[in-house]
Amino acid sequence: MVAVRLLDLDAVAMQRQGIIPGYAPMRGQEAAQVGSAAALDRSVDFAFPTYRELGVAIELGIDPVSYLASHQGAWHGGLWNPAETHLAPLNAVVGGPVTHAVGWAMGARLDHTDGVAITYFGDGASSQGDVHEAMNFAGVYRLPVVFFCQNNGWAISVPTEAQVAGGSVAARAEGYGLVGNRVDGNDVVAVYRATEAAILRARSGGGATVIEAMTYRAGPHSTSDDPGRYRTLDEEQEWLARDPLTLAEARLRELGYVDAYFTGVEAQARDLAAEVRNGVAALDARPGEEMFDFVFQAPTASLLEQKRSWQEASRG
């Protein structure tokens, strides 16, 4: 969680310095992301992220440079292999990864595997029609899916209470025959236990679960956003008092961890952040031909003609 925090802060700094063109910060959501991803069985389960799941990627072992390559613009879907890592490419479509996860879960069911899909989305995305269709489909077929909603309080500039009817996102689960569970998204242990229970339930044929992790987006929606225009400093300070890293450290100190441990964690995280910064800055532009190579498994005649025309134009 400390490494994720520092990498996230450094990604914002890299955007300000022109190293990456844009970034969606996730500061404040470390417990929700790391705790949920830690509950996955990386050999069979599959995670479907949005564009804000840095913590999920790091917990699943993705190289941070490979992850940030998509934000740097060097590669549109990240430089990791989804088939090997079990983390799908970043998805900037609001609610988009939810339908993908349900489709994957149906495939896992048909293949008679033990795999469970977990899909991430925000409270704003929960109002998308695709999310409702996906939950209904998962309910009808009792699919092995965990719908993991990070309710960070704001759908960009719209507060949750202004766009989520029915009291909560978790409450909607009952309408689709799913289990709904609202948890403290800043408590990494609570998140881990809730996700573990949902995964075990799905793996045993019990169907899907909607987890609503109540957390807070401490920074802006994106590096082009100014949260000071729509929320108060008092609100931010109230949530900062429940910072997930502070809560996790307090729990560890109760278990006997001492200053030397935390100093070591901080040092390792800072070394990693420095390595990642250098790695992202050193990324070269990808070959232009790749915009054609990964559209279809078998390229069409029209696509091949476009590629040929582009190559001729590029040679000038």
Catalytic residues: 217, 221, 230
Structure tokens at 92: 């900037």
DSSP string, 86-147: -BPPP--STTHHHHHHHHHHHHHHHTT----EEEEEETTGGGSHHHHHHHHHHHHHT--EEE
CB 213 within 8 A of CB 185: yes
Q: What are the Cα distances from residue 281, in Å, to 66, 73, 120, 274, 285?
A: 12, 11, 28, 11, 11
Nearest-angstrom CA–CA distance, 118 and 65 = 23
CB 208 within 8 A of CB 134: no
Nearest-angstrom CA–CA distance, 154 and 163 = 10
284-288 CB contacts, 8 Å cutoff, 24+ apart:
284/74, 285/74, 286/74, 286/75, 288/314
68 dihedral zone (left: phi>0; alpha: psi -120 to 50; beta): alpha
Give the H/E segment covering residue 10: helix 2-16
Structure tokens at 308: 């040929």
Residue type at 248 in one-letter notation: A
